[in-house]
Amino acid sequence: MVVSKSDLIKFFNSIQPQFDIFVPYKTEREIDDLEFNKYDPDKEFVLDKYRTVDPVRALFYMPSESVLPPSAKSNKRIIAGVKNCDLLGLAVLDDALLKDNFIEPNYKIWRDNSYIISCDCTDALQTCHCVLLDNNPYPNNDTEGQALFDLNLSPVDDKFIITVGSKKGEELLEKIKEECSLAEVTDNEKEILEANRAEVLKKVRDINTDFSMDRNYDVITENKEASVWKEFCNECVQCGACTNICPTCYCLILNDESTKEEFRKVRSWDSCQLAGYAEVAGGGTPREHRWETFRNRYQCKHNFLKYNFDKLGCTGCGRCISACPAGIDLREVIQSLQEV
């Protein structure tokens, strides 16, 4: 099915009483200029282009939340304009926070009550490198062949081709039909879609021509030479920006903020890159040196998460590269490790 942008706006306006809607808006920043905000009918949103400056994770696994009692709200939400790198990030978080013996209560509430409308990328930032992870700048299915979105929008001129990915997506599509005039996809529109995807895929590949597409992530754990890692982390100030901006990080610190009137546990983001991370009362730490701390993030993203969930923890969004005040480029570190 095909929907025009004007009809999509009409749909958002009609369901505002039922849903909290979040969409990307352009900011005044020169680069990384998109960010999620609540839908405002008087402002123009941007569903295509590239990923937002903050990962969509921040709308599901918030910087600080009470977990006992859970502070998440059960309001229904639509989050539109989500890119494939963030869909892949949510897939990792789903495995970490919703399965086996532990379920993070707030994450489950937010996830259960949210509808994801993803959108193909139509452009790329210089830090985007999804192709180096065998991903695409448009949604692809998970390892079991399941879509990671509820609805996906693929821009074709001033319209969007709609793809349904879940039962939630079917529910949304029915609501769209109530407000909008939808058309069947023509052969010409299918050709434009394929051409658009080929063009943005080529752009991301061209951005990353200096890096090998054949990535061997085992070298991260295999290389234990302090001198090698010290060189990589020489400029690192351990600010934690790379982990705070990552779509798959979920390290936490749990604080007891109980009072006489209320038992309360608050979970906040933590970062394995901070100097005091995992330090115990006697001063002991599993990673005494800065190079070990630096290396741990690379191991986590490319080795540990792969072992635990059969998914890489890096989705190629490039946010850590953009956020690093020292200009450390993850792509260059891994390329150098492969050449050692």
8 A C-beta contact, residue 274 and residue 238: yes
115 and 257 within one domain: no
Token pair 């020169």: residue: 30
Residue 309 pLDDT = 93
Q: What is the DSSP letter of 149?
A: -
8 A C-beta contact, residue 247 and residue 86: yes
90's CB contacts (< 8 A; 6+ apart) are 56, 57, 60, 111, 116, 148, 247
Residue 8 lies in a domain: yes
Q: How many domains does the chain have?
A: 2
What is the per-residue pLDDT across 96-118, written as a single tens digit (0 to 9) for each? 999 878 899 999 999 999 999 99
191 and 95 within one domain: yes
Between helices 290-299 and 330-339, what is the axis angle to 10°? 90
Domain that holds residue 76: 2-207
Residue 259 lies in a domain: yes
Count of beta carbons in the 10 Å neighbourhood of residue 4 = 16
130 and 26 within one domain: yes
8 A C-beta contact, residue 247 and residue 55: yes
Residue 160 pLDDT = 97
Among the three residues 207, 236, 268, which one is the final residue of a domain in this structure?
207
Residue 55 lies in a domain: yes
Residue 212 lies in a domain: no
Among the three residues 143, 174, 207, which one is the final residue of a domain in this structure?
207
Q: What is the DSSP string of 105-136?
A: HHHHHHHHTEEEEEE--SS--TT--GGGGT--
**What is the mean pLDDT for each group of 10 consecutive residues in the chain (340 residues)?**
94 95 94 94 95 97 94 94 97 93 93 97 97 94 78 95 95 94 94 97 96 88 89 93 96 93 94 88 86 93 93 96 96 90
Residue 54 pLDDT = 96
Residue 296 lies in a domain: yes
At position 242, the amino acid (one-letter code) is: C
Residue 277 pLDDT = 87
149 and 236 within one domain: no
Quick one: what percent of the chain has pLDDT higher than 70? 99
Q: Measure the CA–CA gap between 338 and 212, rounded to whole angstroms.
A: 9
Residue 31 pLDDT = 83
